[in-house]
């Protein structure tokens, strides 16, 4: 219904720096019905990114001015939505294209492999589906459930800001005509509504659309193990995605380069004598300064040797978790229902709206949440001095919101999404850690003064750059 209430109207859109990336892999093989192996072409990655800017201009409406202000305020949200929507539409076409290409390429594979001097036995096994990588151990807001029945009756919807599969309902078959056992029906009752399916049989399905996940659920034989990620109001679980290594070339003519460099004096000397015109290659920096509002960052540290025998790094090997405030309050129990937030009733609101209300309350602590026990009209008011709550919620058939379980929260470093396992610590609050062991760096963290920040180096990215340009 945009920009007009009847769904009509026009809008001019201009995209700068749009990038469509398609990745294909030939180095896969699948088992044929007769037991032989045959190469196949598969989609390895699909990514649409608007790197620079998206300008949206609404025309010909009485409310054009209002719409244009809203489009400007929410430009990042609109940019992400358009990119993810285009990506989801492109996937369906690319998957169909690959199917046609594989049918066409079937008789040409022997000749191509001979020209490339590659045998079928040298090709790696085909993955089960696009992006089917082994899952890491479940996060606090994730759980693995096993189902002994096939063709699971899960109703899926597309998540709002991406294409992942959201559980909107479970269609239970008629009790009289169903062949399901009591155990199998109980398994279906455990499916969390409004949760996202992020893994199937131990493999990630994050790159699949809700339609593709639905097809998997219809075709996979029993038993099937699914990993569900429960939506939570806590900001702790909104972890930023890991930075990707990107490179790009820039041409420079006569005149100053206009660059301000740090920590690379040898590069500066090289640039002073660089003939023109010149092409410089830039990349994502493996170093980064991560600021924290709360301290300590709750990281586990260890000493790691580097390629340089004269130098070693103190690296992050893991993260510690924050205790659940909800559990420690001793006032809340599993299956308690959320009835009010800051005095406003939420019993008539759907699950996603209640989560929005809780997020809004957490943004302005302290905040109060009223809970009621099953079968009781009495309520208990719990005051949270700050977020997170340390609680996972679930939605029932009556659309109420209940306490599912208590979870430990992510610490500041893990929540930032910018500090990874294997990252090297370079500075603590602006002070170098050169020559210090683990105890020395930990002591600097314990006695740090605000403003709080860590300077870290992504060693994987650093090593990749060294290999690319050595």
How high is the pLDDT of residue 237? 47
| Residue 310 burial class via C-beta count within 10 angstroms: exposed 0-12, middle 13-18, buried 19 and up | exposed
Q: Is residue 336 part of a domain?
A: yes
Q: Is residue 81 part of a domain?
A: yes
Q: Rounded distance, CA 231 to CA 351, Å?
A: 9
Q: Is residue 131 part of a domain?
A: no
Assess whether 39 and 167 both reside in one domain. no
Token pair listed for 417? 């999404």
The contacts found for 179-188 with CB under 8 angstroms, 24 or more apart, are 180/149, 183/148, 184/147, 184/148, 184/149, 187/145, 187/146, 187/147, 187/148, 187/149, 188/147, 188/149, 188/152, 188/153
How high is the pLDDT of residue 235? 46
Assess whether 396 and 419 both reside in one domain. no
Assess whether 345 and 415 both reside in one domain. no
Assess whether 189 and 102 both reside in one domain. no
Residues whose CB is less than 8 angstroms from the CB of residue 220 and which lie 6 or more positions away in sequence, other chains included? 150, 200, 201
User: At 419, which CATH number?
Assistant: 2.30.42.10
Beta-ladder partners of 23: 45
DSSP state of 237: G
DSSP state of 393: E
3-state DSSP assignment of residue 267: helix
Residue 209's Cβ-side half-sphere holds a number of Cα atoms within 13 Å equal to 15
3-state DSSP assignment of residue 72: helix
DSSP state of 261: -
Cis (ω within 30 of 0) for the bond into 18?
Answer: no
Assess whether 117 and 162 both reside in one domain. no
DSSP-H helix ranges across 190-238 = 210-219
| Residue 241 · residue 84 · CB < 8 Å | no
Q: Is residue 40 part of a domain?
A: yes
Q: Rounded distance, CA 94 to CA 106, Å?
A: 18
- Residues 361-388 have pLDDT tens digits of 888 888 899 998 887 788 888 888 877 7
Tell me the residue range of the domain where 149 lies: 142-230
Assess whether 60 and 168 both reside in one domain. no
Assess whether 157 and 167 both reside in one domain. yes
Assess whether 49 and 115 both reside in one domain. yes
Beta-ladder partners of 391: 406
Tell me the C-alpha to C-alpha distance, in Å, between residue 204 and each of 28, 58, 165, 225, 265: 18, 39, 12, 12, 43
Token pair listed for 461? 């990215």
Q: Is residue 351 part of a domain?
A: yes
3-state DSSP assignment of residue 1: coil
Rounded mean pLDDT for each run of 10 residues along the chain, 470 residues in total: 52 72 66 65 73 70 73 75 73 76 80 78 67 77 86 77 74 77 84 85 84 84 88 54 72 76 66 80 81 85 74 83 81 89 88 84 87 84 82 76 81 81 86 85 88 86 73
Q: Rounded distance, CA 42 to CA 28, Å?
A: 8
Assess whether 418 and 402 both reside in one domain. no
How high is the pLDDT of residue 236? 44
Domain boundary among 202, 230, 258: 230
How high is the pLDDT of residue 370? 92
- Residues 13-44 have pLDDT tens digits of 677 777 777 777 765 565 555 656 677 777 76
Q: Is residue 421 part of a domain?
A: yes
CA-closest candidate to residue 236, choices 316, 153, 319: 319
C-alpha torsion 37→39→40→42, nearest 10 = 110
Q: How many CB atoms lie within 10 A of CB 275?
A: 5
Q: Is residue 313 part of a domain?
A: yes
Residues whose CB is less than 8 angstroms from the CB of residue 411 and which lie 6 or more positions away in sequence, other chains included? 297, 298, 299, 319, 320, 321, 322
Residues whose CB is less than 8 angstroms from the CB of residue 123 and which lie 6 or more positions away in sequence, other chains included? 27, 28, 29, 37, 39
Residue 273's Cβ-side half-sphere holds a number of Cα atoms within 13 Å equal to 4
Assess whether 23 and 98 both reside in one domain. yes
Question: What is the total count of domains within the chain?
Answer: 5
Q: Is residue 20 part of a domain?
A: yes
Assess whether 415 and 366 both reside in one domain. no
Backbone angles phi, psi at 188, to 5 degrees: -70, -35
Q: Rounded distance, CA 216 to CA 210, Å?
A: 10
| Residue 287 burial class via C-beta count within 10 angstroms: exposed 0-12, middle 13-18, buried 19 and up | middle
Assess whether 353 and 315 both reside in one domain. no
How high is the pLDDT of residue 470? 60
Domain boundary among 378, 407, 436: 407
Token pair listed for 469? 């340009």
């Amino acid at each position: 219904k945009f920009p007009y209430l009847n769904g009509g109207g026009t809008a001019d859109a201009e995209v700068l720096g749009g990038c469509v990336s398609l990745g294909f892999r030939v180095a896969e093989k699948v088992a044929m019905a007769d037991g032989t192996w045959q190469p196949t072409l598969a989609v390895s990655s699909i990514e649409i990114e608007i790197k620079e800017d998206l300008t949206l201009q609404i025309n010909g409406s009485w409310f054009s001015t209002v719409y244009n202000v809203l489009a400007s305020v929410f430009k990042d949200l609109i940019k992400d939505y358009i990119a993810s929507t285009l990506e989801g539409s492109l996937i369906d076409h690319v998957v169909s294209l690959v199917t046609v290409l594989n049918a066409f390429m079937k008789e040409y594979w022997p000749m191509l492999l001979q020209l490339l001097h590659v045998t079928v036995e040298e090709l790696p096994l085909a993955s089960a589906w696009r992006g089917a990588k082994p899952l890491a151990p479940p996060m606090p807001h994730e759980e693995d459930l096993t189902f002994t029945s096939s063709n699971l009756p899960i109703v899926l919807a597309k998540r709002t800001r991406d294409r992942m599969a959201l559980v909107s309902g479970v269609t239970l078959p008629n009790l009289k005509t169903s062949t399901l056992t009591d155990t199998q029906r109980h398994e279906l009752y455990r499916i969390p509504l409004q949760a996202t399916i992020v893994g199937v049989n131990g493999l990630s399905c994050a790159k699949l659309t809700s339609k593709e996940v639905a097809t998997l659920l219809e075709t996979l034989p029993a038993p099937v193990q699914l990993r569900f990620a429960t939506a939570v109001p806590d900001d702790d679980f909104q972890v930023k995605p890991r930075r990707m290594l990107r490179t790009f070339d820039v041409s420079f003519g006569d005149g100053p380069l206009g660059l301000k460099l740090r920590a690379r004096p040898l590069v500066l000397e090289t640039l002073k004598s660089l003939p023109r015109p010149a092409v410089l290659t830039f990349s994502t920096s493996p170093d980064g300064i991560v600021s924290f509002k709360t301290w300590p960052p709750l990281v586990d540290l260890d000493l790691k040797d580097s390629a340089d025998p004269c130098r070693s790094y103190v690296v992050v090997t893991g993260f510690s978790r924050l205790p659940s405030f909800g559990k420690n309050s001793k006032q809340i129990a599993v299956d308690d229902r959320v009835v009010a937030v800051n005095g406003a009733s939420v019993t008539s609101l759907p699950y996603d709206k209640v989560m929005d209300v809780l997020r809004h309350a957490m943004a302005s602590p302290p905040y109060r949440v009223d809970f009621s026990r099953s079968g009781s009209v009495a309520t208990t008011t719990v005051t949270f001095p700050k977020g997170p709550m340390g609680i996972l919620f679930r939605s029932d058939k009556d659309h109420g919101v209940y306490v599912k379980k208590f979870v430990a929260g992510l610490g500041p470093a893990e929540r930032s999404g910018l500090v990874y396992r294997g990252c090297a610590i370079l500075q603590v609050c602006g002070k170098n850690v050169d020559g210090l062991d683990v105890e020395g760096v930990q002591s600097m963290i314990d006695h740090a003064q605000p403003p709080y920040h860590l300077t870290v180096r992504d060693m994987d990215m650093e090593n990749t750059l060294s290999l690319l340009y050595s």
